Structure 1
Amino acid sequence: MFRLWAKTFKNNHMLRDTVICDGSSDTRTHKIFHALDEVCSQFDLGRPLWLDSNVREFQKHAKARFYKDSFIEQIEFDYLEIQMLEEDD
């Protein structure tokens, strides 16, 4: 089972979180993008841009933070963090 945890933070306090599960046979990349779309839908956010720093961070640590420069619209928190909890075997 694929599980991705998403959290928003402001002043080092978690404001909101959700876990997205995906049991499909899709690729890892597609599951990540689908999960991020679901997070944005639940949190009523525009989809953030994947900057090179986000890609490197996610590849290295299975975690990425999206700051204000990753969003087109203004956000009411400091950053959105996504973290891989579980991947398919």
Structure 2
Amino acid sequence: MFRLWGKEFHNNHLVKDIVICNDDPSLNRTRKVFQGLEEICVAFDLSVPIWLDSTVDDFRRHSKCRFTQDCFIEQIEFDYLEIQIIEED
């Protein structure tokens, strides 16, 4: 089972969160992360953020990253969106 936790923060407070589960064995880790991020953005009514080099580095090191205003094309009403892998096969 692969589970990705998406959290939206505003003023250092958790505003929204969701856990996306994926047990499709045909997808690799990267595809599961991208698909999970898209599902999180649909649930939170957001555009899909852009992966900056620093975001990719953080995710590779910690299986966790934050998407700030720099990662979004449109204006966001919160401080950052954080995703974290909480379970992998």
TM-score normalized by the length of structure 1:
0.98
**How much has 1:48 moved relative to structure 2?**
0.1
Partner residue of 1:31? 32
Find the aligned partners of 2:15 and 2:75 in 1 and give their Cα distance: 16
Aligned residues: 88
Find the aligned partners of 2:80 and 2:88 in 1 and give their Cα distance: 24
Partner residue of 2:80? 79
Partner residue of 2:6? 6
Segments of 4+ in structure 1 off by > 6 A?
none
**How much has 1:69 moved relative to structure 2?**
0.5
**How much has 1:55 moved relative to structure 2?**
0.4
Find the aligned partners of 1:24 and 1:53 in 2 and give their Cα distance: 28
Equivalent AA in structure 1 for residue 32 of structure 2: K
Equivalent AA in structure 1 for residue 14 of structure 2: M
**How much has 1:38 moved relative to structure 2?**
0.1
Q: Which consecutive residues of structure 2, in runs of 5 or more, have no partner in the other structure?
A: none
Post-superposition Cα deviations, 1:8-40, rounded to whole Å, max 9, x if no partner, equal 001100000000000001100000000000000
Q: Which consecutive residues of structure 1, in runs of 5 or more, have no partner in the other structure?
A: none
TM-score normalized by the length of structure 2:
0.98
Q: Percent identity, please.
A: 59
**How much has 1:56 moved relative to structure 2?**
0.3
Find the aligned partners of 1:11 and 1:41 in 2 and give their Cα distance: 23
1:46 equivalent to 2:47? Answer yes
